[in-house]
Amino acid sequence: MTNVFIISAPSGSGKSTLVNKVRETVPNLSFSISYTTRSPRGSERDGNEYYFVSREQFEQMIRDDDFLEYADVFGNYYGTARRFLASAEQQGNDLLLDIDVQGASQIKSKLPHAVSIFILPPNREELERRLRERSQDSESVIQRRLRDANREIENYDKYDYILVNDRLAESVGALKAILLSQRLERQGRTDAGLSATAEEYRLENVRQRLQPILQSFGKTAAGVK
């Protein structure tokens, strides 16, 4: 059976870099490229970062039940096409989904066996620094992304695993361990080293470590006194 891995994170958390690194090193891993009605930015190319379609095309795909999940975000649609899951199953691959918290919730309701991973920045200050360092957004957009991050982080405890993207190499290793240990588990096999690394990042094992990060966003960890 195809494993479905969901990865979500606030903008600026380094999710795309992590996903790209893992895709280079984990075999038999298909990746879903989302459809969107927003316009391409900078060097983005159709079929690379996103499939860019018109609103009319997207809404026809909705009527045709072509999406596993979709959402309207600030006036633009984003969605994951069912065809990526069908293709992964045909190839005998696992499927990696890079989607927001709304999409993750929809996927989990349809595919309860999907494994979900939430990527957190080290703290709010570091997230803001990264957003400003990208130098591609206006001040109003940066502030909106920070507000979005604050809202998205409220959903962290709905995910199976939590990664704090502080040191890239460590985060890549952790994400790889989660994917491979879950793959082996579904095959009825285990690798003690991979399993031990993955377990470090399970939600119930990181709540205490998340406290200072959540506090920087004005929040507290659920279940932690």
Q: Could you list the residue range(s) of the whole structural domain that residue 106 is in?
A: 4-32+92-216
Instruction: Let me know if residue 212 belongs to a domain.
Output: yes
pTM above 0.85, yes or no: yes
Instruction: Let me know if residue 52 belongs to a domain.
Output: no
Instruction: Let me know if residue 60 belongs to a domain.
Output: no
101: domain CATH number? Answer: 3.40.50.300
Instruction: Let me know if residue 109 belongs to a domain.
Output: yes
Local confidence pLDDT in tens for the 225 residues of the chain: 899 999 999 988 989 899 999 999 999 999 999 999 999 988 889 998 899 999 999 999 999 999 999 998 878 999 999 999 999 999 999 999 999 999 999 999 999 999 999 999 999 999 999 999 876 778 888 898 899 899 999 999 999 999 999 999 999 999 999 999 999 999 999 999 999 999 999 999 999 999 999 999 987 666 544
Interval 139-167: pLDDT, tens: 888 898 899 899 999 999 999 999 999 99
Nearest to 177 by CA among 156, 157, 160, 193: 193
Instruction: Let me know if residue 19 belongs to a domain.
Output: yes
Number of independent structural domains in the chain? 1
Instruction: Let me know if residue 221 belongs to a domain.
Output: no
Instruction: Let me know if residue 63 belongs to a domain.
Output: no
